[in-house]
Amino acid sequence: MRIIPWMNTNEKKKIAILGSTGSIGTQALQVIEEHSDLYEAYVLTANNRVELLIEQARRFMPEAVVIANEDKYEVLRDALADLPVKVYAGADALCQIVQERPVDVVLTAMVGFAGLKPTISAIKAGKAIALANKETLVVAGELINRLANDYHADIIPVDSEHSAIFQCLAGEVSPVEKIILTASGGPFRTFSREQLAMVTKAQALKHPNWSMGAKITIDSASMMNKGFEVIEAKWLFGVEPGQIQVVVHPQSIVHSAVQFADGAVKAQLGVPDMRVPIQYAFSYPLRLQSSFERLDLFRIGTLTFEEPDTCRFRNLALAYEALYEGGNMPCIVNAANEVVNRAFLEDRIGFLQMSDVIANTMREASFIKEPTYEDYLQTDAEARRIAAEYVGTC
């Protein structure tokens, strides 16, 4: 993955936020607001949350806004008719707006497979990518790597764990021996399989440390989010699956670490606050002053670490299996997971059944060793259909 420092200029950095109404997007706007002398929200987009997008547009006065759901275009257009803000709608508009010449940085904070196409469009325009949509690399990591190199697109990771690894690698020229990817363990870390079989979405949505959107919170509870981060780490940092070790760290203070050839380990610590990696992605290679909470190790007192249990949290093992298999298998896993995640949120499937559906989908979906972009689209559709059929039998 091509990761290069962004050039500093005297002009404000113009940022397009794909998914400005989500958890990452709203926190990115807080960073922009705190450093309004350096950053400008140039484009804001949302999928469905039109009222919040209207509120954001009035507050930040972007050049343009895009609502992916075309049915909500008129509501958005009419609400902003008195402002000099361009209003667009639809998936094609998302892909086109990120290619606008003034855009310096595209923060990809859309959720799921939907983030792949506009991210590719931004890369092909040579835009700097602040990558928060992990599914882009999970689904099509090899393709994204190739495009980023071909179009000289710079990529900075925004996920707290991958940002931590990126920060640990700053200034290093020695090869990486191992990446230590930390995981909180989620709200069910100490639950037995019998208890996991009975958990509800209300319980799963109560993450002990992080404030996130519903989809990623469920993925965190099932540890599929960590599995996706393993796949993402392979493509971001050019390591093999066996070089990535997941360690459960309930306090979420050590965000990740890197072990080098001499046995030395560098870790990045901080309070759980996504604004820190977002700001670092915007400002790299500089570090800006912030008003964020500071880490107090005396107050924290104890940091603990555990080995993950892939029997109770099977999704992590399935993600590793997909990564070793390669080809379109991670795309299959992602599609199936999006289906079961939604089904769990809609009370149509149990917590442990999510892994069963994903495993069955991995077994039945068509495997392609060297997929093209069109293959990824077909794989996504096929895997969703298979997973939905299995959900219907649960």
Cβ–Cβ under 8 Å, residues 333 and 362? yes
Is position 171 annotated in a ligand binding site? no
What's the sign of the alpha-carbon dihedral 337, 341, 342, 347? positive
The reply, when asked if residue 152 is annotated as ligand binding, is: no
- Is position 23 annotated in a ligand binding site? yes
Consecutive H or E run containing 385: helix 373-393
Residue 225 assigned as binding residue: yes
d(CA 319, CA 353): 16
Answer yes or no: is 256 a known binding residue.
no
| Measured CA distances, 363 to 116, 221, 223, 310, 324 (Å) | 24, 24, 20, 19, 15
328 annotated ligand-binding residue: no
Structure tokens belonging to residue 298: 């005396």
d(CA 139, CA 158): 17
CB 319 within 8 A of CB 333: yes
Would the annotation count 184 as a binding residue?
Answer: yes
Is 133 annotated as belonging to a binding site?
yes
Q: Is the peptide bond before 285 cis (omega within 30 degrees of 0)?
A: yes
Q: How are strands ordered across the β-sheet holding 176-183?
A: 244-248, 176-183, 254-260, 265-269
Give the separation between CA 246 and CA 297, rounded to whole angstroms: 23
Task: Please give the backbone phi and psi of residue 30, each rounded to the nearest 5 degrees, phi first.
Answer: -65, -40
Q: Consult the annotation and say whether 135 binds a ligand.
A: yes
Determine whether the annotation assigns residue 213 to a binding site.
yes
Is 159 annotated among the ligand-binding residues?
A: yes
Residue 33 among known ligand-binding residues: no
Task: From residue 158, give the alpha-carbon distance in Å to each of 71, 111, 129, 178.
Answer: 31, 14, 10, 20
291 annotated binding-site participant: no
Residues annotated in a binding site for Mn(2+): 159, 161, 229
Residues placed in the known binding site for 1-deoxy-D-xylulose 5-phosphate? 134, 160-161, 184, 207, 220, 225-226, 229
Annotated binding site: 21-24, 133-135, 159-161, 184, 207, 213, 220, 225-226, 229
Binding site as annotated, residues for NADPH: 21-24, 133, 135, 213
